[in-house]
A and B are shown apart, each in its own frame.
Chain A
Amino acid sequence: MRRARVLVAPVTVTPTKPLTLSHLKALLWQDVLVRATAQVADVTVRYSQTSFHLTAQTLGFWEYLDRVHGDTDYDAVSEDDIGERYMCYQAEPRRVTYARLRPYAEAVESTGWTHPVSDRLLRLWVGQYARFGLHDPGLLRVRLPGMPLEQLVDLLSGYGLCLDTRRHGGPVYLDATARGLPLRPIIAADGQPNYLACALRDLLPLVDSHDTVVLGHDLELQADYQLLTAVLERLGVGTHRIGVGRVPVDGVVRSARHGDWRGRTASAVVDACAVVDACADAPDPAAVRLGLRLYFIATLGAGQQQSFRPELLSHAVRRAGSLLADARRVEEHDLQEFLCGQRGRRPYVDPYRLTSSLLSRHRAVPVCDLIERVLS
């Protein structure tokens, strides 16, 4: 039987601020989903940083840095320093016009140009991905969006999915009102596309060569991703969404623009959990990687009800150490067969179900293979 061709398209983290706990959680979910599903289907991951450089958040930050700080050598700048500058950018009382961002947008469109600040962050993240055991989807690769913006508008208009009011001084709307979803601007009246336009330019050229699309997104973007799903389905592509919530700290979900990363960047937290028990030896890196998955996937789940608790993360790392030690003594079962069972009738393997299965005493779980090929 032919394996299903699954296109997995997670929302990207824009390289303008440090990787936070919420980002780490989303990345772990994506990583497990992709690696587990790839065992039982032909998976393509679309994760183009270049396509999303075109959003106002990224272009605006670049313009701000050049305007306010001028020539800066970013090669040795830390993630935290970049985060501080990002907060100053977000605190500016007024946004510059799109005309001021156009030189940056045009450079991205033509060559995939990346500002040195984002290049620096992405290089730092490559190291962090390796440490967290995340497959690098090509953070440093230039991947231009496969469809020009105006072609997107034409294509969507042909399906009645687009309402272009630019002639009247208005925006271009994505129109799934026939499905009961509100009109949503994707290109502002001044020509600035938003991330939905970027996502569509990125995805639409790829959907024909796949059987199913799986979209990974932040729960706060749920309405937009419902819209994206409706559009893809109207174009005849089976589409699934996996929404993953953020990680509240002390009961509050805050964003990078408000400094939620201060003292809690992903790397700082992982450092801290490694020394929580001062008397113990530093944990095995494999136990840290597995522990991160047990905590951010199985313990926290997809929602965002539970605040971050470092002691539970440390506990998960210790639990992971025991699992790794015990795994060598357990009789192995077939990984593919197990993952097919996990997948059930969905086109993808659910990371929560899969990771939780490791903690079950009653099921036949191929622990060694699972950890080695999917969870580390």
Chain B
Amino acid sequence: MYAQDELSAIVRRRLRDAGFAAPEDAQPATVAAAARSQEPALSAYAVVRNLDPTGLAGAVAALAAGLPADTRLRWRRAFTRTVFLTGNPANLAGRFAFDHVADDGSVALIGPQEPDAMLGLRRLLPLVADGPLPSLPAGGPVTVAGRARADRPARDWRATVATAGVGTAGYLVHLGHVVAEAVLDGDLRPGDRLSVRHVPRVLHDGAVTVRVHADGYDPNRLRAYAALTPGASTVE
């Protein structure tokens, strides 16, 4: 289990990585305030038809890996903000240019955009409803699309996401952040294999990226909601 001071250190690191001051008592609210303080904040968009965790993780990783350097920097300063909308990408392809579409069409992504740039899309689609999280398929690992670099061999990663006390919208946000930030950190790269697994609570397991947020059970506490850890899934 992560201790509160470890989680607090992770929040401070996230603030520093995004180029903000990181006071000792930094909380998720500090991150939210920092995100609001910078204008204009970029936002990526995900159009979700089916909740396919591995497909979504692979799509977010591919999108992040394909971003130009200046957009990466600005998206990082926006704490990799992503808006998750319900919709069928196939019906929208004629109206909107998606940057990445999952092979099975379950999700499509538009890279970070200026505020108000996607009002047309927002008018058409509702946010993914934050209902109780359904049973999610485990799915096999996905290979992150994009041009693999030759400086290191492909690696296996597993994204672990907490499911106890987590709704559908929260789940998507946590998974999206942990994958996107692992790519921006340079850990997760094109050619790597990524699997997703679900646990009631995220425990210590040598993660390189941890998604920390206010605990839904007690907002005065922090909680690890997702983690990206080297190694393949141990489930056969």
Contact = CB atoms under 8 A, between A and B. Distances in A.
Interface in B49-63: 49-51
> Do most interface residues of chain B lie in helix, strand or loop, or is the interface mixed?
loop
Nearest to B121: A177
Interface residues of A, number: 17
A170 B91 contact: no
A189 B49 contact: no
B148 interface: no
Interface string A149-183: 00000000000100101011111010101101111
Nearest to A166: B134
A180 B124 CA distance: 7
Contact of A169 (B92, B94, B123, B129): B129
A166 to B, nearest CB: 9
B124 A182 contact: yes
B87 A183 contact: yes
Contact of B95 (A160, A180, A189): A180
Given A175-B88, A178-B92, A183 B125 contact: yes
B86 interface: yes
A167 B51 CA distance: 9
A183 B125 CA distance: 6
A163 B124 contact: no
Interface in B180-199: none
A167 B125 contact: no
A163 B129 contact: no
B134 A163 contact: no
Contacts of A183: 86-87, 124-126
Given A181-B124, A182-B123, A183-B124, A170 B88 contact: no
B10 to A, nearest CB: 29
B91 A169 contact: no
B87 A170 contact: no
A168 B134 CA distance: 5
Contacts of A167: 51, 134
A189 B51 CA distance: 16
B131 A169 contact: yes
A158 B199 CA distance: 36
Nearest to B135: A167
A178 B124 CA distance: 10
Contacts of B123: 182
A163 B131 contact: no
Interface in A132-164: 160, 163
Given A163-B49, A178-B91, A178-B94, A168 B125 contact: no
B79 to A, nearest CB: 25
B124 A168 contact: no
Nearest to B134: A168
Interface in B39-54: 49-51
A191 to B, nearest CB: 14
A168 B88 contact: no
A185 to B, nearest CB: 8
B113 interface: no
A70 B131 CA distance: 35
B175 to A, nearest CB: 14
Most chain B Cβ neighbours within 10 Å, of A168, A171, A180, A182: A168
A189 B126 contact: no
A168 B92 contact: no
Interface of B: 49-51, 86-88, 90-92, 94-95, 123-126, 128-129, 131-134, 168
